[in-house]
Amino acid sequence: MHTDREIRGIRTAVAGWRGRGEYIGLVPTMGNLHDGHLRLVEAARRTADRVVVSLFVNPLQFAPGEDYERYPRSFEADAARLAEAGVDLLFAPDVATLYPDGGSRPPTRVEVPGLSDILCGAGRPGHFTGVATVVTKLFNIVAPDAAWFGEKDYQQLLVIRRLVADLCLPVEVFGVPTVRESDGLALSSRNGYLTPEQRAAAPALYQALTAARDAVLAGEEPGNADTAGWNRLQEAGFEPEYFTIRRAADLDEPGPEDRDLVALAAARLGEARLIDNVRFER
Amino acid sequence: MHTDREIRGIRTAVAGWRGRGEYIGLVPTMGNLHDGHLRLVEAARRTADRVVVSLFVNPLQFAPGEDYERYPRSFEADAARLAEAGVDLLFAPDVATLYPDGGSRPPTRVEVPGLSDILCGAGRPGHFTGVATVVTKLFNIVAPDAAWFGEKDYQQLLVIRRLVADLCLPVEVFGVPTVRESDGLALSSRNGYLTPEQRAAAPALYQALTAARDAVLAGEEPGNADTAGWNRLQEAGFEPEYFTIRRAADLDEPGPEDRDLVALAAARLGEARLIDNVRFER
């Protein structure tokens, strides 16, 4: 595996592969890799001839007061795991490479209206604009044929699908199912913020989502299932930010005729803000 | 010259050329072509192996109440001129091709903060976001190596240079000098809105800009030259929107040490909103 911090080196490597007709896959990450990320790499390797992983903790997607500074960084361990997983190229730019003007002027932004403003976007103003902007930049630098994202960040996946469609980016976007611990907790870098007691309570998030799914499948109104899920999280010691059942296609409120649904929640447990979701058809 | 209204056809044609190592040039236009556009095509032909022209009147860059509906359209004549000029491919999409969701939801936007909000951006809210968005889409569809824009739309040229830098778009951007009538009036589709009397008065715009340049070169303060230019436009029958001397690099207010300047103005003359600029070094 080759590692490069510069845009030029990435472009040269990818251009060489493309010149040989190879299909290029990209897995964007913020590092601190866990098995969920490795699942993305495996999925990419099954489809792509060459797999590029980007590792960049993107300041633009953290709101003021969020955990940008203390977000866990583990470059050496990450690079070793990616090399072992068969990644061809690791793009690990410095902040000044992707944002050369620093804070001296606001950078060009990619905004996905609507989808960016609800749920996690309501609780984290500017977050999805930061995501959409950096993903657009990564796509323009790497020029992949396809990119893989985790379904754990379901709203992010929809934002990226929409920006790709709207901006006519020539990239296929694939979602990869969430990887969970044996007790159901979705893998996340932010699980590392949990104390042992909080870690023991954390699976309640997934349990509340699957309970909401089961209630709706048994005929419950989504609105009632939302309330029950919110209460269940509070009882487990979470501070819920939202708990809601939405249409899977666009995260709008579901009507009686909508079949393809997703239960989503964000909740704080101690220092950690955890999110998870369960997709289902009724 | 081949004409295509579909994204797929454009991508197929360009991919074929790129596969042979050819250098692809793009000239984005809104049609109603005049000699200024043809100058862009000539510049592109001197550098690029293949020249693609896009012809699309972009609704997103017109504010409500502006001239989107009556903007002059002359597709057959335009296509004939482009074919004669040696253009390889004309991309003339329908509105529904670039904005498939119509007005049902707001599309993903590319925003260039700061530069988009001043001068023409102050008078035309949303205009440069519409420009930046459609240019990003055209770049993603055509995937040109380089694109050519007229210096008459100087602020637009800077917006595009900045979005290309900020979003890491792999496109070289070239500006082409303004083409003028023999009396100095810059060529523009909107000159067609002028009555014969207004047309006779219209060269005062360029004259006021060159007079401001000459005054600054003779030692006048830019602020005084701005006022003189504004008055001169009013005397000629214009309603000025702005008349200002700025730094050429970023359109900020010039300090005493700034050498590379541009005098810019926008003014209404009857039904036409005209813009022009003169770049100079002191």
* CATH at residue B33: 3.40.50.620
Residues B207 and B276 sit within 8 Å (Cβ to Cβ) = no
Assess whether B35 and B110 both reside in one domain: yes
Mean pLDDT of A79-90: 98
Range of the domain at A270: 189-281
Assess whether A148 and A104 both reside in one domain: yes
Question: Is some CB atom of chain B closer than 8 A to the CB atom of A216?
Answer: no
The number of helix segments (H) and strand segments (E) in chain A equals 10, 10
Neighboring chain B residues of A168 at a CB cutoff of 8 Å: 7, 98, 137, 140-141
Which among A11, A136, A167 has CB closest to B170?
A11
Name the token pair of A168. 């006519």
Shortest alpha-carbon distance between residue B162 and chain A (Å): 8
Distance CA A119, CA A213 (A): 18
Mean pLDDT of B67-77: 95
Q: Which of A176, A199, A225 is the last residue of a domain?
A: A176
Query: Per-residue pLDDT tens for B116-159?
Result: 999 999 999 999 999 999 999 999 999 999 999 999 999 999 99
Distance CA B196, CA B188 (A): 15
Among the listed residues B280, B10, B230, the one whose alpha carbon sits nearest the alpha carbon of residue B139: B10
Distance CA A53, CA A90 (A): 5
Do A113 and B106 lie within an 8 Å CB cutoff?
yes
Assess whether A161 and A213 both reside in one domain: no
Q: What percent of chain A has pLDDT over 90?
A: 98
Neighboring chain A residues of B112 at a CB cutoff of 8 Å: 108
Shortest alpha-carbon distance between residue A148 and chain B (Å): 19
| Residue A224, strand partner residues | none
Q: Given B13, B24, B26, B37, which residue is catalytic?
A: B37
Assess whether A20 and A77 both reside in one domain: yes
Tell me which H or E stretch contains A217: helix A204-217
Strand segments (E) across chain A = 2-4, 24-29, 50-55, 89-91, 109-111, 146-150, 172-176, 239-247, 260-269, 272-281
Assess whether A171 and A195 both reside in one domain: no
Which amino acid does the sequence have at B166?
Answer: D
Question: Is some CB atom of chain A closer than 8 A to the CB atom of B103?
Answer: no
How much is the pLDDT for A194? Answer: 98
Name the token pair of B96. 């529904």
**Total number of domains constituting chain B:** 2
Assess whether A35 and A172 both reside in one domain: yes
At A83, is the pLDDT very low, low, confident or very high (cuts 50, 70, 90)? very high
Query: Per-residue pLDDT tens for A31-54?
Result: 999 999 999 999 999 999 999 999
Residue A45 lies in a domain: yes
Shortest alpha-carbon distance between residue B228 and chain A (Å): 32
Task: Assign A42 to helix, strand or coil.
Answer: helix
Q: Indicate if the alpha-carbon torsion angle B256, B259, B260, B265 is positive or negative.
A: positive
Assess whether B147 and B232 both reside in one domain: no
Query: Per-residue pLDDT tens for A214-256?
Result: 999 999 999 999 999 999 999 999 999 999 999 999 999 999 9
Task: Consult the annotation and say whether A94 binds a ligand.
Answer: no
Q: What are the phi and psi torsion angles at A272 (to 5°)?
A: -100, 135
Among the listed residues A177, A182, A228, the one whose alpha carbon sits nearest the alpha carbon of residue A203: A182
Among the listed residues A157, A142, A140, the one whose alpha carbon sits nearest the alpha carbon of residue A40: A157
Mean pLDDT of A62-77: 94
Residue B133 lies in a domain: yes
Distance CA B52, CA B26 (A): 5
Assess whether A272 and A223 both reside in one domain: yes
Which among A106, A141, A166 has CB closest to B108?
A166
Residue B258 lies in a domain: yes
Q: What CATH number is given to the structural domain containing A202?
A: 3.30.1300.10
Q: Which of A176, A202, A225 is the last residue of a domain?
A: A176
Tell me which H or E stretch contains B228: helix B222-235
Question: Is some CB atom of chain A closer than 8 A to the CB atom of B98?
Answer: yes
Distance CA B251, CA B125 (A): 17
Assess whether A146 and A200 both reside in one domain: no
How much is the pLDDT for B102? Answer: 80
Assess whether B23 and B148 both reside in one domain: yes
Mean pLDDT of B181-192: 97
Residue A170 lies in a domain: yes
Task: Assign B128 to helix, strand or coil.
Answer: helix
At B101, is the pLDDT very low, low, confident or very high (cuts 50, 70, 90)? confident
Assess whether A212 and A256 both reside in one domain: yes
Q: Which of A176, A210, A228 is the last residue of a domain?
A: A176
